[in-house]
Structure formats: structure tokens, C-alpha cells
Chains A and B, each alone.
Chain A
């Protein structure tokens, strides 16, 4: 028997997939799959490769509108365009993989809680316990116009609605106790309906009767992800989330946000270790630093100025930006005033502009790869050094890897960086268990009905 490994804390890794890659010019690169967004084979091969690299999970972002903005720019930047709907794609990947977690973004503003509880519960059953839900509230007008609303919900409304939505969905997942389906052929009893719980939810935004027409998911509830670093965002994450995803360029800021979020858990009756904080990392790795640099420079050179402006517009909340001289400093007064409601990406961008006064070109190049995330360009040792430094500094419990180009960037990461992290004992050599909760070291939650005495006491 092999000696037990020392219980070193190891980093978790997620693979964030945008069809052709995270760099806005990824589709120009020969190592991107140019028809990625309608090519299931591309995704199946990536998922299987990520699984060979022992990634904890695949993470899919989503949008409920193509958010056209500047059509000239969009024609050159196919983000949230020509791509699969995440829940259906992950269901396909569930059948083609066996261990890797499958996390889809879905909105609490434009779906029905009953339908969403079914879809994610179904994915958890299909994958034998590997589903995760990235909860977003959706804050753009283009999406609202695909769902019959002229304006999107206000920030605080969205979060209040989201909280109610999440509570309903989690309640529906608990509709049946784990042992409700007795399936006893001798007595002819299929289900013990004393173990069925009808939700009877009547709230401000929703009324949902229940029960869900589904067994309790294998994970009890799929793993809950949340992004957003506004005050409300942090507070709802501390209340609900198992994993917090953030896109920040500074280690110090990630470290303090992680401490901040962890510190909020006890007042919700949770232990700080019940939440994982995972910053995004826009990684470009090569066999040599020069090779990585060459790929990066190629991509940066392919950013059309219209696309550059569109990226910054998106970070600032899809505002209109005028044409600007590319090599002059980005005008500070174009950034909307920060109030309680503004998106956290705009706040992060303001901090960068205030601190460094970059030119327009420098600024959009900085956001071109992985948007607000920290960028690493280097060989395997350099990438591993940086990830190790951030990990040991307490900036994250792991990272959401955002390869510039897909599948090329994933192939390089699995071949070059994964073995280096494993050699350092920083990353798993084998999956610890079968479910996504097992990989992340998160306990399977008890049903809300598991301890009636405690419920009554509240």
C-alpha cells in the first residue's frame, strides 16, 4: 500500500470555456476551433481532456441576449453568439465524461424556479452528482427585451428576487427525503409519501406549490456558484454559495475579498471553510516563455479597435463609448459614477484607470484576455509559480482557468502546467471521489426537513 500522502491543502481548478477561447481575438488563432459554438465534438473532446487533467469542473458562462452593442465590433467578436445553451450542452457532456463537474450559468430573473430546479436536478441525476449552478441575476437591458420587459430589474430588486428564487429551488430539491422512494415490491409501496414535502411557497415575487417531480439530487443540491463583488453580491454569496468566482487583476484585492466573504459566513450559521473562493486566471502557457509571449502578442495584435472599445463598454455595463484616440490616456470621466448599484466590473476598471492612467489601447489589451482576470503569460514553471504564489498568499482556494485559445490553450495547460503543479504537491493526481462536492471537499447538505426538531426551534 502506498504511504498516505501528507494532507497538504491542494488547489481546485475549474476550466472556464468560451467557445473559441477567452481572448477576444481567439478565433483568429489557428489553434482555436473556429466553428466551436456549434460543434459538439469539440466540447466533448475538451471535456474529456480536462477530465484527464483532473480538473474539478467545467464552467460555462451565459447570456440571455447577444448584447449586440456595436454591430461592427460584434461581427468581429463572437462572445455569447453562435454557441450552445449551457444546460443542454452540459447534459451532453455528462454522457461523455464520468468524473468532471459540470457547472452552468442560469438566471434568476428570466426563468421559472420550478423549471430551473428540474433542469439542474436532472443534470445532477444524469451525471451522478456532478452538477453546479452559477447563479446570476442578469443585469442588462438586451436580455430583458428578450423576455418581455422594456427595462431590466434594478440591482436591489434583482438580488431580492434572486434570494427568493434560490430558496424556492433549494426547497424544491428537498421535496423528497433521500429515503422516500422505498420501491418495496412485496408491499406494493413505491414511495413513502410521509417523506414527501410540499413547499407551498407564497412570496413577494413567486408562488410555487411543489413538490418537484424528482428524487432528491445525488448531491442533495447541486453546487451553488456565484460571482459579483458588490456589497449585495458578497452578502448573498455568504448566505447561499458554495463557490465564489471573481475576476480581479490584483492578488491583494482577491486576498481581501476572500477574507471579507469568509468573514461573513458565521452570521449565516456557516463555517468559513464551507465556501471556496476561486479567482479567474487568464493563462497562456508555452514550452518556453517566448512561445507563450508569441501567442499572446499575436492575439493582442488582432484586436480591432472597435472590438477594444466594445470590451471596455461591456466592462462598464454596456454603456456607449465614443471613438477615442488609441494612444491617449483613457478619459476617467467616461466611467459611470459609482453608486451602490453599479456593477463590480466597472468599479474594478475605475481602480485600474485611477491607479495607472493607461492609454485606451493599453486598457483594452489588458481586458482582451479573460476580461477582468489576472493574466499569466509564461512557461510551465512561471505559470505554476504564479498560481502557487497566489494560492499560498490566500488569494484563492483554487482558480478558474481561462485559456486564451481553445482547445489549444487547454491542451498546453494539461500537458505542461498540470504535471508541474502535481510535482509540487499542489494539485490532485486522482479524483478524491465521485461527485463535484467530493472533489471540492464540500459536504452533502442535509435536507431542510432532516431535523424537524431544529426547524421547530427556529
Chain B
């Protein structure tokens, strides 16, 4: 066990999770659509041997104008499409994994398998796919539907989507392309396997128009928290993003997921569980706390209320600093909203405290402190059965990425918890996950 190392990813869409990031004069306010901004992040993370450069995504701009006047007061609405951005970054990086969030609800498997497989080839085996099913009507309305597909059906579609993509990624044997000039044989027809899939959602003949990719297929990521999401993750995912903010429940969820994968004929070693972690780090604990206080002070209450609007509707009629109103209910239908509500009631938070404490870090573990404070928490979670590593969520990017890399990474290395060089040039290799052998050998 002593040589077990922590895996680290960073979720780096835009200017971070705190809505005030763009107000910092040292940050390019257009970061989300500025290639050099991402280039700097990718290089920084690669210099610290991160496993994963991760991009979240949605298929719409849906920031609500709730309360009235909130729209346009935080960054958003102008960002890259993740697969193309990661393809570009593949040319200027060499080890870090490149993971795109892509919806299984709004794509067709043939083209998606091509694009993701193509980036796996372009990057020499560093592609990952975070499979999301998308939950918003605003997204459905960009794809010809009034309402988002019902959750059960979304997961059925996601499952079939992965079955088709896996089939396509395996549609050529590893040695199907001898490219033999002497014999005049470019490929061996006997080593080609069309899939001829006919299912409830898709009919796809195949084969894919590219050889099997360096990793066999991209590494599959999943973050669902509902029962359907957990089963989907346990059956298909190799990296699981966990939404946990306290140690005991994180440890229970970790054990439960490692157990759950067995139900699908998989080994607990076939997955990596990475809880999200928002580190707010300073040279000293006091520095970190001051930085956090300043960020909260900079936050326009209308933006905080807007963040709550998706979960609870317009809360502007209530006293922002009074007790959390009893009549407020979740309106989103997602599990996260209920977690917020429970948390607010349990902690006795006001509306302001809820958005300051929870909604900005998005229900994930937040640690404010010195490098060793943060390393202590990470070490505990990692060594005591709650995590295989972490998905680092910068409150403000790139500030919190640079701070983590400069201050926390050396501390983790000093403790022998984290690598000092890459083990591999593929994402699966660095994560220490088993290879995906061709089914045709």
C-alpha cells in the first residue's frame, strides 16, 4: 500500500467556481474563450504531474434572469466547445489526460465515437470522456425538444450510447492495418468487425473509420449521484467523481461504490474515486481565510441568489440574512438541491450563508487553510478509505490552480503521497487502471 499514490485532476472550465473570478484585474476576464488562458493552465498542471485536465460542459447558456437583473452579472455564455479545445491542447502537452464532458442525450454515437477516438489518437492516448445525460430543459430546447428526456430514459440512452461507442472503438483488431506495400494490403478485411447495432435509441452499422485508438478507448468518467447514476457509474465508469463534503459519508460512499462495481463483474481496482475538492490555500491559514472573506465580500448578492434560483426559484423576497424560510422547496428535480436544503436546515444557515458556504463550492469538500491544512485533509481522505485522489475545483482560476501547484503539491510530494514524475504517457497508464484489451485477441 505504501507506494499507492494520489491521483489528481483539475476541473478548469472558465474562471473557476466562484462567480467573482473575472473581477480580478490580473485575470483575463474572457478566460473561458481564450486559448492562451487554457494553455497556461494545461502547462501549469502538467508541470505538477496532474493526471487530468477536466472540462465540465452544458449544451446551452441558461443562466436565469432570477432575480430580475441578475443576468449578465457573472461570467458565462462565452466558452469553447470542449472536444475541440482539448484537441488543440493535445498539440502542446505530452502527458496530462484530457477529459471532456459530453452529453449522451444530444449526440449520435458514430460521430461522437469518431471525435473522441480521434483525440485519443491525436494525443497519443490521453483522452477521457465524462459521460453526462444533461438535465435541463434549456438544453433540450436547443435540440428540438421542449422538455429534457425523463431521467430513466436518459440513463437507458446513455447505456446504449456507451455500448455502441465501445463496439465501434473495437471494430478493428489491433493488427488490422498491416499497410503492406509488398503485398498491396492496406487492411485485412477479416480483422474488421462491423457492429450492426439495432437498439431502442440507435441503429449503427459501423465499423468506425479509424484504427483502434492508443488506449483502446477513452477513459470513461461519470459523476451521477442518483441510484440510476451510481449504477451506471459502477457498470461503465473507470473514474468516478464523488460529490462529498464530509469524511464519514465520503468513506461510506467510497466503500459502497467499490462494493457496487462487483455486482457488474468488475474489480474494485478497476475504478478510481475522486471526490471534488475546493482548496482555498494561502501561505498561512490566516492568509487563506482573508482571501476567502474578500471573495465573499466581492460577491454581488444578486449573483448569489441567481445561483440558488435553479434549486429553489426566486428567493429575493426573503430576508437574505434571516433564518432559512421553511416554505422553500427544491424545484429542480436533481439530488443536489435536496442536499443543499438539508444542509441549510441542519446548519441553521441564512440564505446568504447557504450560497456563500455551499453553492459556490457546489456541495463539494472545501478546505480553507495553509498548505499543510489542505494536505492533512487530503491525506486523511486518501489513506483512510474515502478517496483515490481528488478532482481539484479552483474557486478562482488560474489563481487557485497556481497556488495549489506551488504550495500544496510540494507538500503532498514531501509526504510521499503524490508522484514526482509521470509513470506513463497515457491517461489510463497514469491512473494505474488496467488496459482495455481488444475483445478479438
CB A276 to nearest CB in B, in angstroms, measures 26
Query: Given B61, B205, B300, which contacts A188 in the complex, CB threshold below 8 Å?
Result: B300
| Contact-size category for B | 35 or more
Check A192 against B72 for contact (C-beta < 8 Å): yes
Check A112 against B143 for contact (C-beta < 8 Å): yes
A10 at interface, CB cutoff 8 A: no
Which of A76-84, A244-252, A287-295 sits within the interface?
A76-84
Query: Given A28, A95, A215, which contacts B181 in the complex, CB threshold below 8 Å?
Result: A28
Which of B83-91, B263-271, B430-438 sits within the interface?
B83-91
Query: Given B60, B80, B179, which contacts A27 in the complex, CB threshold below 8 Å?
Result: B179
CB B117 to nearest CB in A, in angstroms, measures 8
User: Nearest residue in A to B107 (C-beta to C-beta)?
Assistant: A115
User: Nearest residue in A to B74 (C-beta to C-beta)?
Assistant: A190
Check A78 against B186 for contact (C-beta < 8 Å): yes
CB A417 to nearest CB in B, in angstroms, measures 27
A210 at interface, CB cutoff 8 A: yes
Check A214 against B205 for contact (C-beta < 8 Å): no
CB under 8 Å from chain B, chain A span 74-116: 74-78, 80-85, 87-89, 91-96, 110-112, 114-115
Check B78 against A111 for contact (C-beta < 8 Å): no
Fill in one digit per residue for A106-133: 1 if any B CB lies within 8 Å of its CB, else 0: 0000111011001101110110100000
Chain B residues, Cβ within 8 Å of A302 = 184
Total CB contacts across the A-B interface at under 8 A = 216
Which of B23-31, B149-157, B226-234, B317-325 sits within the interface?
B23-31
User: Nearest residue in B to A114 (C-beta to C-beta)?
Assistant: B142
Query: Given B58, B111, B203, which contacts A64 in the complex, CB threshold below 8 Å?
Result: B111
CA gap between A95 and B123 in the complex, in Å = 13
Chain A residues, Cβ within 8 Å of B29 = 183, 185, 190
Which of A140-148, A316-324, A345-353 sits within the interface?
A140-148
Chain B residues, Cβ within 8 Å of A85 = 111, 114-115, 117-118, 210
Query: Given B35, B39, B74, B142, which contacts A210 in the complex, CB threshold below 8 Å?
Result: B142
Fill in one digit per residue for A179-223: 1 if any B CB lies within 8 Å of its CB, else 0: 001010100111111001000000000111111111100000000
Given contacts A190-B72, A209-B142, contact A142 B181 (CB under 8 A): no
CA gap between A135 and B71 in the complex, in Å = 35
Check A80 against B209 for contact (C-beta < 8 Å): yes
CB B145 to nearest CB in A, in angstroms, measures 8
Query: Given A83, A91, A125, A304, which contacts B210 in the complex, CB threshold below 8 Å?
Result: A83
A65 at interface, CB cutoff 8 A: yes
Given contacts A91-B85, A146-B205, contact A110 B91 (CB under 8 A): no
Chain A residues, Cβ within 8 Å of B121 = 38, 40, 84
B439 at interface, CB cutoff 8 A: no
Check A94 against B88 for contact (C-beta < 8 Å): yes
B262 at interface, CB cutoff 8 A: no
- State the majority secondary structure of interface residues on B: loop
Chain A residues, Cβ within 8 Å of B92 = 95
Chain A residues, Cβ within 8 Å of B210 = 37-38, 82-85
Given contacts A114-B59, A183-B22, A209-B141, contact A81 B209 (CB under 8 A): yes
Chain A residues, Cβ within 8 Å of B71 = 193
CB B193 to nearest CB in A, in angstroms, measures 12
Query: Given B73, B110, B187, B211, which contacts A147 in the complex, CB threshold below 8 Å?
Result: B110
CB under 8 Å from chain A, chain B span 65-102: 65, 71-81, 83-85, 87-92
User: Nearest residue in A to B23 (C-beta to C-beta)?
Assistant: A185
CA gap between A85 and B84 in the complex, in Å = 11
CA gap between A206 and B39 in the complex, in Å = 36
CA gap between A74 and B85 in the complex, in Å = 33
Check A183 against B30 for contact (C-beta < 8 Å): yes
Chain A residues, Cβ within 8 Å of B206 = 146
Check B80 against A122 for contact (C-beta < 8 Å): yes
CA gap between A47 and B85 in the complex, in Å = 18
Check B144 against A119 for contact (C-beta < 8 Å): no
Chain A residues, Cβ within 8 Å of B83 = 87-88, 91, 119
Given contacts A40-B122, A95-B92, A125-B80, contact A34 B179 (CB under 8 A): yes
B188 at interface, CB cutoff 8 A: yes
Fill in one digit per residue for B312-339: 1 if any A CB lies within 8 Å of its CB, else 0: 0000000000000000000000000000
Chain A residues, Cβ within 8 Å of B148 = none
Query: Given A35, A63, A92, A209, which contacts B138 in the complex, CB threshold below 8 Å?
Result: A209
Query: Given B23, B59, B122, which contacts A92 in the complex, CB threshold below 8 Å?
Result: B122
CA gap between A112 and B184 in the complex, in Å = 39
A330 at interface, CB cutoff 8 A: no
Given contacts A84-B121, A89-B118, contact A147 B81 (CB under 8 A): no
Measuring CB to CB, which residues of chain A are less than 8 angstroms from any residue of chain B?
27-28, 34-35, 37-38, 40, 44, 63-66, 71-72, 74-78, 80-85, 87-89, 91-96, 110-112, 114-115, 118-119, 121-123, 125-126, 128, 142, 145-149, 176, 181, 183, 185, 188-193, 196, 206-215, 302, 304
16 A-B pairs in the complex with CB atoms less than 8 angstroms apart: A27-B181, A38-B211, A40-B124, A75-B185, A80-B209, A83-B210, A95-B89, A119-B84, A142-B205, A147-B110, A148-B204, A185-B22, A185-B25, A188-B73, A191-B76, A215-B78
The 6 closest A-B pairs by CB, nearest first: A91-B87, A209-B141, A85-B118, A122-B81, A213-B61, A95-B91
